Structures are given as C-alpha cells and as structure tokens.
Amino acid sequence: EVQLVQSGAEVKKPGDSLKISCKGSGYSFTTYRIGWVRQMPGKGLEWMGIIYPDDSGTRYNPSFQGLVTISVDKSISTAYLQWSSLKASDTAMYYCARRVDLWNTYDYWGQGTLVTVSS
Amino acid sequence: DIQMTQSPSSLSASVGDRVTITCRASQSISSYLNWYQQKPGKAPELLIYAASILQSGVPSRFSGSASETDFTLTISRLQPEDFATYYCQQSYSTPQTFGGGTKVEIK
C-alpha cells in the first residue's frame, strides 16, 4: 500500500528554523517526484515546488523560491521542507504528494503537517 | 505562470442534483488538468486526471470534459459524501497552479 506519512504538528516562534518531513512507503521512492503544497487557514491550495528523489533535482514556484528549501534523503525514503527563519505568515497546513509522470498528476497525498508560527 | 480561474466559488445543491464546476486556463494546457476533492480537515484526493480520466476507485457519477482551455467537472447525481471543496490544477507547466476552489454545500 502506497503511503506518505508526514511529521507531526509544529508550533514555532517567528525567526525559528523548521524542517518537516514526508516519508514514502509501499512503492519505489526514487521513481516518483514529491511535491509540496501549502494551504493557509481557510484558503486554497498553492503549489510550492517539487523534488526528484533520484537526483535531488528541484523546481520551485517563484513565489516560494528562496523562502523554503526542499530536499530529500533517498536512503530513508524521506522528503523534507524547511525554513531558516519562519514568519507568522508561514502558518499553514503543508501537504506532500506523489507525482505520476504520465500526466504530472498527484495521486497520493500525505496527511498534512500543521505549522503554527506565533510569538 | 498559468492562471486557473474556477467557478463558481461556492454552490448550494441537494442530494440527487446534477452539479457542474468549471475551470478556465489562461493559456493552452492540452489535457493536463486534474480535479481534486478535499473534505474538511483532510488532504485532497485525486478524482480525475488528464481532463477526463477517472482515478481508480472514484465513483462513475464524477466525470470531466474539456474544450480548448475550458474544463468541466460534473457530478451527475450528488450524494451526501460529495459535499466538499473541489479544486482544479494544471499540470502542464511549473508552477502547477490550482484554481481557487469550489465549495459544494447542502441546500
């Protein structure tokens, strides 16, 4: 069974750093890209970027370029999303999802990680 | 970036109704259009990809169609479990933008 399991909810202060994770199982992790999607409270979905686990190649949404870093450790089938200095506006639910290359569609999603940034 | 304009932003419907949601791309995206359903507190789930192909396990009352840059999601007979928010997404080019969402509520 394909699963993407994300790390638990986080409560941080502005200026803190953070790295959240997404662990894939039940499939060949290096074969499928992993994307990250943000959902701010009460709002829609925003595509942040994507990584190819086999070579760690990344593509970012220009709106998020330089604000977050997407990485991967293929030895443990885990992708990461990290911030070096959080802002209150980073408060959101973050989802990882597996992308199928044929139509670039996202067929399996993690359960989401809620990040709350508050002083 | 390709803009995806989804309408309506919300609608009220009754069980058994036929519901149509539309999504317009700002440029040609071929058939690289996906539809997702999201229920409160849950992750999105894939319903349709390539504009009209039903994801495995999705009920046949859901269907998708395309006409150039206009895409449609139709629910033929709304069921209680279909009350949710629906998003389109273009997967033609990065950033893979989403529409603003359509919340389907109970009338």
* pLDDT tens digit sequence for B22-67: 999 999 999 999 999 999 999 999 999 999 999 999 999 999 999 9
Query: What is the model's pLDDT at position A23?
Result: 98
Query: What is the model's pLDDT at position B4?
Result: 98
Q: How far is B102 from chain A (nearest CA, A)?
A: 10
pLDDT at B84 over 90: yes
* Chain B residue numbers touching A61 (CB-CB < 8 A): 94-95
- pLDDT band for position B106 (50/70/90)? confident
Query: What is the model's pLDDT at position B17?
Result: 97
Hey, which residues 59-98 in chain B have their CB within 8 Å of chain A?
87, 89, 91-92, 94-98
Query: What is the model's pLDDT at position B75?
Result: 98
pLDDT at B97 over 90: yes
pLDDT in tens, B4-16: 999 999 999 999 9
Query: What is the model's pLDDT at position B19?
Result: 97
Residue ranges with strand state E in B1-107? 4-7, 10-13, 19-25, 33-38, 45-49, 53-54, 62-67, 70-75, 85-90, 102-106
Residues in chain A with pLDDT < 50? none
Query: What is the model's pLDDT at position A28?
Result: 97
CB-based contact A44 B101, cutoff 8 Å: yes
User: Degrees (nearest 5) of the Cα angle A18, A20, A21?
Assistant: 155
Token output for B94: 């990065």
pLDDT at B107 over 90: no
* Chain B residue numbers touching A41 (CB-CB < 8 A): none
- Taking any CB pair shorter than 8 Å as contact, residues of chain A touching chain B are 35, 37, 44-47, 49-50, 59, 61-63, 95, 97, 100, 103-107, 109-112
Query: What is the model's pLDDT at position A35?
Result: 98
Of B67, B62, B4, B63, nearest in space to B30 by CA: B67
Cα nearest neighbour of B34 on chain A = A105
Query: What is the model's pLDDT at position B20?
Result: 98
CB-based contact B43 A109, cutoff 8 Å: yes
Q: Are A13 and A119 in contact (CB under 8 A)?
A: yes
